[in-house]
């Protein structure tokens, strides 16, 4: 009898314990997982924090949604997305580059969904920023940031060494001489990967030709890379390298090493994109540095046609939606929230220059004001030439730029080889 009572009691307890679990199962069944992908693995970086803030806000608005993000560095991220695409497992919403060689196959193979441009009419996208994501008149992605190539400089080092901000290449070379004499590296940049070298070369071409159309024409094989502006730019590049303008280990310096040289005030200038706006808020560097970091335009070449206001500029950080997503409405809702919140948050935290209109405030630091002024005064813009060809062309071009800087190729050999690979990959 006693045993029977115990069995009943245990059974009752079991039923009671099972009830909330069953409720939990129902709740779990309703839970929707929205898969995301991006190339910002450091979630404590300003950009990572902004994304997490938007995600948290989205999950508060949609309590049944859980956002799961896969985040890797550029190269492994690209590889993973391609593997996911080939196996129909793309994340619902993910970041992907707008360059035709990367986004093109995604569109052609129907991996990503066309968006309705009218939905984003009132979001203040900068003129031309959506066009880079258009294929056959359809919009496939939304850009997060406007990127352009500038020279950051340390105002304190300039003042202490009595150097004026250079407006021409001759002034830049003269400034470099002063810095070198005082044991300061004139300019740091990354050379271990060739893309900063190529963008710098593009900018130099723009300083001779006054527009960037000639680069596109050469890529389309309507012009040759052996034409005068390219050769002049290659020669000028080598003149800068041979004058010791860059750090001695340029070709083995990775991104962080080059950035640190500048941030630790060992280098007076740093050639990089506008996304380094965060230099002025990066607490890894001294307050003295953060207060003195400024940006200037890439100097012009005296007597040449190129205007100092011509910018190597492009739009990046695109978000796209998988064509196979089972949560289309949620994915579009996420894009809507992201691009409503991102510009203000990104500008407030100085993540980068958004591709949407932002209001400058009095609280913006001098670096932010410099960058806005540079962008505001841009006359002609052109996106990096290596990104306009196939990935194989990009890789070959970047390595060729390294060969030029290392002295393996002369400027004449460089332009001839560049023309050869452009011809090869244009086929």
Structure tokens at 347: 């500008």
Beta carbon nearer to other proteins, 301 or 404: 404
Q: How near is the Cβ of 298 to other proteins at its closest, in Å?
A: 23
Q: State the Cα–Cα distance between residues 368 and 384, nearest whole angstrom.
A: 23
The answer to whether the CB of 225 falls within 8 A of the CB of 419 is: yes
Kindly indicate which of the ranges 36-44, 290-298, 328-336, 387-395 contains the residues binding other proteins, using the contact rule CB under 8 A. 387-395
In the three-class reduction of DSSP (H, G, I as helix; E, B as strand; rest coil), residue 297 is classed as coil
The binder of other proteins chosen from 357, 407, 423, 426 (CB under 8 A): 407
Helix H or strand E segment including 380? none
Q: State the Cα–Cα distance between residues 221 and 163, nearest whole angstrom.
A: 43
Beta carbon nearer to other proteins, 150 or 157: 157
In whole angstroms, how large is the CA radius of gyration of the chain? 26
Helix H or strand E segment including 8? helix 2-30
Q: How near is the Cβ of 85 to other proteins at its closest, in Å?
A: 5
The binder of other proteins chosen from 400, 415, 421, 422 (CB under 8 A): 400
Q: How near is the Cβ of 8 to other proteins at its closest, in Å?
A: 49
In the window 159-188, what residues touch other proteins (CB under 8 A)? 185
The answer to whether the CB of 221 falls within 8 A of the CB of 422 is: yes
Beta carbon nearer to other proteins, 41 or 366: 41
- Does position 391 interact with other proteins (CB under 8 A)? The reply is yes
- Does position 399 interact with other proteins (CB under 8 A)? The reply is yes
Q: How near is the Cβ of 288 to other proteins at its closest, in Å?
A: 22
The answer to whether the CB of 223 falls within 8 A of the CB of 247 is: no
Site size for other proteins (CB under 8 A): 36
CA distances in angstroms from 368 to 156, 291, 293, 308, 344, listed in the order given: 17, 12, 10, 19, 14
- Over the window 18 to 57, marking each residue x when it contacts other proteins by CB under 8 A and - when it does not, the resulting string is ----------------------------------------
Q: Which residues of 25-42 are buried (b: 16+ CB within 10 A; e: fewer)?
A: eeeeeeeeebbbbbbbee
CA distances in angstroms from 284 to 109, 169, 268, listed in the order given: 43, 32, 17
CA dihedral 335, 341, 344, 348 (to 10 degrees): -110
In the window 228-267, what residues touch other proteins (CB under 8 A)? 247-252
The answer to whether the CB of 77 falls within 8 A of the CB of 305 is: no
The answer to whether the CB of 236 falls within 8 A of the CB of 168 is: no
- Does position 201 interact with other proteins (CB under 8 A)? The reply is no
The binder of other proteins chosen from 192, 290, 341, 349 (CB under 8 A): 192
The binder of other proteins chosen from 24, 406, 412, 426 (CB under 8 A): 406
- Does position 73 interact with other proteins (CB under 8 A)? The reply is no
Structure tokens at 281: 């808020």
The binder of other proteins chosen from 53, 193, 213, 265 (CB under 8 A): 193
Q: For residue 70, which of 86, 51, 56, 45 has the smallest C-alpha distance? A: 51
Which residues are 151's β-sheet partners?
A: 271, 296
Q: How near is the Cβ of 247 to other proteins at its closest, in Å?
A: 7
Going by their DSSP bridges, the two strands 134-135 and 267-273 should be labelled as: unpaired
The binder of other proteins chosen from 408, 412, 423, 426 (CB under 8 A): 408
The binder of other proteins chosen from 82, 235, 290, 420 (CB under 8 A): 82
What count of other Cβ atoms lies within 10 Å of the Cβ of residue 289?
A: 19
Beta carbon nearer to other proteins, 341 or 420: 420
Q: State the Cα–Cα distance between residues 48 and 117, nearest whole angstrom.
A: 27
In the window 110-139, what residues touch other proteins (CB under 8 A)? 111
The binder of other proteins chosen from 18, 26, 75, 288 (CB under 8 A): 75
Kindly indicate which of the ranges 17-25, 146-154, 217-225, 402-410 contains the residues binding other proteins, using the contact rule CB under 8 A. 402-410
In the window 89-108, what residues touch other proteins (CB under 8 A)? 105-106, 108
- Does position 301 interact with other proteins (CB under 8 A)? The reply is no
Task: Please report, as ranges, the residues that interact with other proteins according to CB under 8 A.
Answer: 75, 79, 82, 85-86, 105-106, 108-109, 111, 185, 191-194, 247-252, 390-392, 394-396, 399-400, 402-403, 405-409
């Amino acid at each position: 009898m006693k045993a029977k009572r115990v069995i009943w009691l245990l059974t009752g307890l079991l039923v009671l314990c099972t009830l909330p679990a069953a409720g939990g199962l129902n709740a779990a069944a309703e839970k929707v997982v929205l898969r995301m992908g991006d190339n910002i693995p450091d979630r404590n970086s300003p950009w990572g924090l902004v994304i997490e803030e938007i995600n948290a806000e989205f999950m508060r608005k949609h309590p049944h949604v859980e956002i799961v993000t896969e985040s890797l560095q550029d190269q492994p991220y690209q590889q993973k997305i391609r593997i996911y695409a080939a196996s129909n497992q793309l994340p619902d919403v993910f970041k992907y580059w707008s360059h035709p060689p990367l986004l093109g196959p995604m569109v052609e193979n129907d991996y990503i969904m066309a968006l309705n441009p009218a939905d984003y009419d009132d979001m203040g996208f900068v003129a031309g920023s959506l066009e880079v994501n258009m294929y056959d008149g359809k919009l496939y992605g939304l850009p997060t940031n406007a990127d352009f190539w500038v020279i950051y400089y340390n105002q304190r080092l300039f003042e202490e060494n009595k150097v004026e901000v250079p407006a021409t290449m001759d002034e830049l070379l003269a400034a470099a001489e002063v810095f070198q004499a005082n044991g300061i590296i004139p300019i740091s940049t990354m050379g271990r990967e060739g893309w900063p070298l190529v963008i710098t070369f593009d900018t130099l071409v723009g300083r001779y030709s006054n527009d960037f159309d000639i680069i596109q024409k050469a890529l389309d094989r309507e012009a040759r890379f052996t034409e005068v502006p390219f050769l002049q730019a290659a020669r000028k590049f080598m003149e800068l390298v041979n004058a010791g303008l860059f750090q001695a280990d340029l070709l083995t310096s990775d991104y962080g090493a080059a950035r640190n040289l500048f941030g630790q005030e060992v280098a007076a200038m740093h050639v990089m994109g506008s996304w380094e706006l965060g230099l002025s808020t990066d607490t890894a560097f001294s307050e003295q540095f953060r207060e003195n970091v400024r940006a200037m335009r890439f100097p012009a070449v005296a007597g040449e046609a190129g205007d100092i206001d011509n910018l190597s500029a492009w739009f990046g950080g695109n978000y796209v939606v998988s064509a196979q997503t089972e949560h289309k409405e949620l994915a579009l809702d996420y894009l809507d929230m992201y691009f409503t919140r991102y510009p203000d948050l990104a500008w407030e935290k100085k993540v980068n220059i958004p591709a949407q209109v932002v209001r400058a405030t009095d609280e913006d630091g001098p670096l932010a004001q410099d960058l806005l002024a540079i962008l505001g005064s841009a006359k002609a813009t052109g996106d990096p030439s290596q990104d306009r060809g196939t990935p194989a062309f990009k890789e070959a071009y970047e390595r060729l730029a390294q060969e030029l800087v290392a002295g393996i190729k002369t400027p004449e050999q460089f332009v001839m080889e560049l023309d050869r690979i452009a011809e090869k990959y244009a086929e």
